[in-house]
A and B are shown apart, each in its own frame.
Chain A
Amino acid sequence: MAADLLALRGITKSFGRVGVASGLDVTVSAGETLGIVGPNGAGKSSLFAIISGDLRPDSGTVTFDGTDVTRLPPHRRTRAGMGRTYQIPRPFEKMTVFENVLVCASEGGGRRKRAALELAASTLERSGLGPVANAPAGSLTLLQRKRLEVARGMATDPSLLLLDEVAGGLTEPEVAELVTLVRAVNAEGIAIVWIEHVVHALTATVDRLACLAGGRLVADGRPADVLADPLVRELYLGQAVTTGEDVA
């Protein structure tokens, strides 16, 4: 219990008739990697919004690093160590790629002056965006925008990084590169929660996999066990999803 970095307890949230969470419990311990799968519209992105503070749950609590953050605004959660990406990238279009990352290092990461510049520059190089550092973010391709999402999340100097479908649309070599990056980030002790439909990217990265459906985690455990779960298979086989299916 005490070791939990993030704990959601009894989270309920609905948009009118559409329920996205009903009594949802999720815990993530420090340095852990958790993958989340689930059908389209299951409420995965909404779960991130609740964790990061973009959405207020109707009931339930969000605890981060031992503090109840349920009523904390998003920027305070970022400063407390939650980094996140958006499924539909939201770059600061008129700022350069470097400035996009710099603002995260400065505000979220709490770095000042030179330290902010250094963190931003090294994060860009690590995420492969060095060559476009001075381009306006609005000029990036979709793939570069997704990378920028990851880089910005990293630059806030998080202890928990939330990744929302950052592998979608990538070629195989690009997925492999991304997996390497995420593992390197995790190796620094940063916990990862990764929502992804590209299941083999998850299985190559995470220790633990959960499946979200009907507003709850219907399966949660070792990736191989979760993917073998009949309910998860049914939820997934009902959809055309590229799983790659060579389960670890």
Chain B
Amino acid sequence: MSGVVVRRSARSSRFGAAGLIAVAAVLALLPFVAYESVTSSLVTLFVLVTIASMWNLLAGFGGLVSIGQQAFIGVGAYTVIYLADHGVSPFVAIPLAALTAAVLAVPTSLLAFRLRGDYFAVGMWVIAEVYRLLLSRVDALGGASGRSLEGMAGMDQTLRAAATYWAALAVTVVAVLGCYWLLRGRVGLALTAVRDDEIAARAAGVDVTRAKRIVFLASAAGCGAAGGVLVIDALSVQPNAIFSVQWSAYMIFIVVIGGIGYLEGPILGAIVFFALQELLSDAGTWYLIVLGLIAMASALFMPRGLWGQVIDRTGMRLFPVGYHLERHVGTGRA
């Protein structure tokens, strides 16, 4: 069997990859041509894409439904605040925020993985609250009322806005490509099996706990970086806001409407969510009601989300992680 030919990508995905690179390039050039108000609102969109992608990785592939991922957003934000106090550039601190979140995710996972299903989801929320309470007690970090970020005062306003935008874009690109890289490899195959049937996955030889821990750490790192971007964007941190369960609500909403278990889902979902936010920004309470109705309708009528619809209609995959076996040796391409 030396003639086995396996394809990893469909035709549409090569076109898709080129399109994505073009989009990323245009986005990177935006600060030179667009108003600051545009780039600054895109920072919010990038953060949403990042955190939703992390939640999708966790729930859509690891089967770990959490409503406490704001724990790592907060940890990332406070890491940047702390490091800036010690003279580290906030931008340089972003990767360190990701690292800190991943490191703290290790003991967090030891605790949280003892819980299953709903208990895990709620347990993570409790853990996020514990992080909030602990950090609210540190006076050096501003206590319960929060603090402003040091080290940005001397920076030119236009340059600061552009740098924040690029940092947010870079975090998003790394987060999305990181998910892709993880899922395309050996771990991804194992995770997909775990998602479909945990018991059968064990029998297949998958170390289920290890696979879940890997996505838990990766997801924490991404949320940590997003927290760092948020603090640089806002120039301050407030514990109740940064540790708000609302972040988890956003992540879930975006992933559900975009399509859970597809890397493209959170991107599409975040764009839709962002557009809704802009459209309904004056609508007050109606905003929440409309969001709720859309989430319910989406769960009922499009269980695979918007991206599921795109696949059904076009067969397009921007991030192909599957394997296609060519049985007639010599007719396919590797």
A interface residue numbers (CB < 8 A to B): 52-54, 73-75, 78-79, 84, 86, 90-96, 98-100, 102-104, 106-110, 112, 114, 117-118, 121-122, 124-125, 130-131, 133-134, 152, 156
B322: CB under 8 A from chain A?
A: yes
Chain B residues, Cβ within 8 Å of A90: 197, 199-200, 203
Chain A interface: which of B15-23, B155-163, B204-212, B278-286?
B204-212
Contact B201 A121 (CB under 8 A): no
- When the two chains form their complex, are residues A107 and B192 in contact, meaning their CB atoms are under 8 A apart? no
Question: B1, B195, B199, B261: which has the most chain A beta carbons within 10 Å?
Answer: B1
Q: A103-B206, A118-B4 are in contact. List 17 more A-B contacts (CB 8 A).
A: A52-B203, A54-B199, A74-B203, A75-B205, A86-B200, A95-B193, A98-B323, A103-B201, A103-B204, A107-B204, A117-B323, A121-B325, A122-B1, A152-B200, A152-B203, A152-B204, A156-B204
A residues near B2, Cβ cutoff 8 Å: 118
> Within 8 Å CB of A92, what residues of B?
192-193, 196-197, 200-201
13 chain-A/chain-B pairs, Cβ below 8 angstroms: A54-B199, A74-B203, A75-B202, A75-B206, A92-B197, A95-B193, A96-B322, A103-B190, A110-B205, A121-B325, A125-B1, A131-B327, A152-B204
Once the chains are docked, how many angstroms separate the CA of A54 from the CA of B199? 8
Out of B1, B189, B195, B203, name the residue touching A102 (CB < 8 Å): B189
Cβ distance B2 to chain A, nearest Cβ, rounded Å: 7
| Residue B186 interfacial (CB < 8 Å) | yes
Assess whether A104 is in contact with B325, with CB atoms less than 8 Å apart. Answer: no
- Asked if residues A106 and B186 are in contact (CB atoms below 8 Å), the reply is yes
Nearest 4 Cβ contacts at the A-B interface: A108-B205, A107-B205, A92-B196, A90-B200
B209: nearest chain-A partner, CB-CB: A73
- When distances are taken between beta carbons in the complex, the residues of chain B under 8 Å from A86 are 200, 203
Q: Are A107 and B206 in contact (CB under 8 A)?
A: yes
A134 to B323, CA, bound (A): 8
Contacts A78-B205, A95-B196 hold; do A102 and B4 have CB atoms under 8 A apart? Answer: no
Are A117 and B4 also in contact (CB < 8 A) when A92-B196, A95-B192 are? Answer: yes
Which residues on A sit within 8 Å (CB–CB) of B323? 96, 98-99, 102, 117
* Cα(A12)–Cα(B192), bound, Å: 35
- Is B202 within 8 A of A104, CB to CB? no
Set of chain A residues within 8 Å of B322, measured between Cβ atoms:
95-96, 99
Q: What is the total of A-B residue contacts with beta carbons within 8 Å?
A: 110
Query: Is B6 an interface position by the 8 A CB rule?
Result: yes
Please determine whether B202 and A91 come into contact, CB atoms closer than 8 angstroms: no
Contact B190 A107 (CB under 8 A): yes
Q: Is residue B137 within 8 Å, beta carbon to beta carbon, of the partner chain?
A: no
Q: Which of B204, B324, B327 contacts A104 (CB 8 A)?
A: B204
Q: Is the CB of B206 within 8 A of A121?
A: no
Query: Nearest Cβ in chain B — how far from A245, in angstroms?
Result: 33
What CA separation (Å) do A114 and B3 show in the bound complex? 11
Taking a contact as CB atoms closer than 8 A, the residue among A109, A118, A121 that contacts B205 in the complex is A109
A125 to B200, CA, bound (A): 22
Q: Which residue of B lies closest to A82 (CB)?
A: B203
Least CB distance, A107 to chain B, in whole angstroms: 4
Residue of A nearest to B202 (CB): A74
A47 to chain B, nearest CB (A): 15
Docked CA distance A53–B204 (Å): 12
Min C-beta distance of B136 to chain A, whole Å: 40
Q: Which residue of A has the minimal Cβ distance to B211?
A: A107
Check if A121 sits within 8 Å of B1, measured CB to CB.
yes
A74 (CB) vs chain B CBs: closest residue: B202
- B327: chain A residues at CB < 8 Å are 130-131, 133
What B residues does A79 contact at CB under 8 A? 205
Cα separation A218 to B259 with both chains bound (whole Å) = 54
* A residues less than 8 Å from B6 (CB atoms): 117, 121
A98-B325 contact in complex given A93-B196, A103-B189, C-beta closer than 8 Å: yes
A96 to B197 alpha-carbon distance, docked (Å): 14
Closest to A153 in B: B203
Most chain A beta carbons < 10 A, residue from B208, B325, B327: B325
Q: Which residues of B contact A133 (CB under 8 A)?
A: 325, 327
B199 CB contacts on chain A under 8 angstroms: 54, 90
In the complex, are the beta carbons of A91 and B197 less than 8 A apart? Answer: yes
List of B residues within 8 angstroms of A114 by Cβ: 4
Provide the residues of chain B in CB contact with A107, threshold 8 Å: 190, 193, 204-207
Query: How far is B206's CA from A147's CA once the two chains are assembled, in angstroms?
Result: 21
Of A98, A103, A117, A131, which one neighbours B193 at CB under 8 angstroms? A103
CA distance A247 to B30 in the complex (A): 80
Q: Among residues 157 to 208 in chain B, which have CB atoms less than 8 Å away from a CB atom of chain A?
A: 186, 189-190, 192-193, 195-197, 199-208
Query: What is the CA–CA distance of A77 and B234 in the complex, to the nearest angstrom?
Result: 52
Q: How far is the CA of A117 from the CA of B256 in the complex (A)?
A: 33
Residue among B186, B195, B200, B208 with most chain A CB within 10 A: B200
Report the bound CA distance from A156 to B204 in whole Å: 7
Question: What separation, in Å, do the CA atoms of A108 and B193 have in the docked complex?
Answer: 13
Q: Are A73 and B205 in contact (CB under 8 A)?
A: no
Please, which residue of chain A has its CB at the minimum distance from the CB of B261?
A94
